[in-house]
Amino acid sequence: MQKVGRRVLLGMGAGATAYVAHHLWNQKAESSNAQQRQAGGVINVYSARHYDTDKALYNGFTEQTGIRVNLIEAEADALIERIRSEGSRSPADVLITVDAGRLWRAQQAGLLQPIQSRVLNSVVPANLREPQGHWFGLSRRVRVLIYDKSKVNPNQLSTYEDLANPRWRRQILTRSSSHVYNQSLVGSLLAIHGPQRTEEWVRGLVANFARPPEGNDTAQIRACAAGVGSIAITNHYYLARLMASDKAEDRAVAEKVGLFFPNQRDRGAHVNICGGGVVAGAPNRQAAIRFLEYLVSPRAQEMFAMANFEYPVRAGVPVHPIVQRFGNFRGQNVNAAVFGRNNAEALRLMDRAGWR
């Protein structure tokens, strides 16, 4: 795998023979690279996932197919804007990002093309992919409740809706409304309850905040363990990371809290995705489709699960032992495209209700 911006430092003064040999090798490599590009032997993947472990995923694709992955990493919004600004000359073949809301934004900007793939359609559940094939879920992320075990009995917990109950006054911890994870959660509630009931819920939730929203999901778990509030809304894998940490202080935080899957007696917990799609003007369209198909293969799905504590989208793939300790859960069946589409309305509603 080749990463943009990586500089190759040539050792100098090692002798003329070595220098000439190295120079000739570089020329041969460049020629080979050019031939590979012409033959579709390289794909350009724009990714908003910032996990070093993903490199093993991409290397596995190269080993299996001979197609190299040229990786361009940045935040999702920056990548979307970059593809937009590059226009028809964009080298991007695949866009990978987290959260259906961002994939929806890319789709609405005309940056993704619909594809038909028997593999993707058979592996990825219908609610985790865009109905016309513009993008597909590659892993699942569950929005859960983290609770202070010294203050909350899990039998007291039930649903997202119950978090607006006045009995949780000054107890709820969450990140800002500007973050897409929360926008998608509210977007899913909009799809289920409609705008009036959802806004009433958000107002009740805001009234129960332990503090003004700040920090990421890990910060909410730490604040919960420290007694700032007693219930935090986070993605499941943030707790798994603390549990697996080689730092004693992280593991101590994890020991003080528990994890609860909401709405298990009705529709199930909110499930979001990491997903990917083929860019509208992809120079290597077939290789891009092949890459997405590889990412839902049993081998790649197990790497998603084991490396970053995510849930696979492919049935029958084992989860990480730490995640297995969370127990089984029921996920809601709202299509990710629906709550992705609702993100903009969700943010307006959250602003009106005082969720900053």
pLDDT tens digit sequence for 79-103: 999 999 999 999 999 999 999 999 9
Lowest-pLDDT range of 54-58, 186-190, 300-304: 54-58
pLDDT of the residue at 50: 81
pLDDT > 50? residue 124: yes
> Residue 140 — φ and ψ, nearest 5°?
-110, 140
pLDDT of the residue at 51: 78
Give the chain's mean pLDDT.
90
pLDDT band of residue 5 (cuts 50, 70, 90) is very low
Is-contact 64 51, C-beta < 8 A? no
Question: How much is the average pLDDT of 177-198?
Answer: 96
Q: Which residues of 74-110 are buried (b: 16+ CB within 10 A; e: fewer)?
A: eebeebbebbeeeeeebbbbbbbbbbbbbbbbbbeee
Report the SS3 class of residue 256. Answer: coil
Is-contact 1 57, C-beta < 8 A? no
pLDDT > 90? residue 22: no
Per-residue pLDDT tens over the stretch 52-64: 778 889 999 999 9
Tell me how far apart the alpha carbons of residues 271 and 143 are, in angstroms, rounded to a whole number. Answer: 6
The first and second tokens of residue 271, run together, are: 């499930």
pLDDT band of residue 36 (cuts 50, 70, 90) is very low
Percentage of the chain modeled with pLDDT above 90: 87
pLDDT of the residue at 318: 97
pTM of the full predicted structure? 0.87
pLDDT > 60? residue 73: yes
The residue whose two tokens read 């220098």 is: 19
Per-residue pLDDT tens over the stretch 145-160: 999 999 999 999 999 9
> Residue 164 — φ and ψ, nearest 5°?
-85, 0
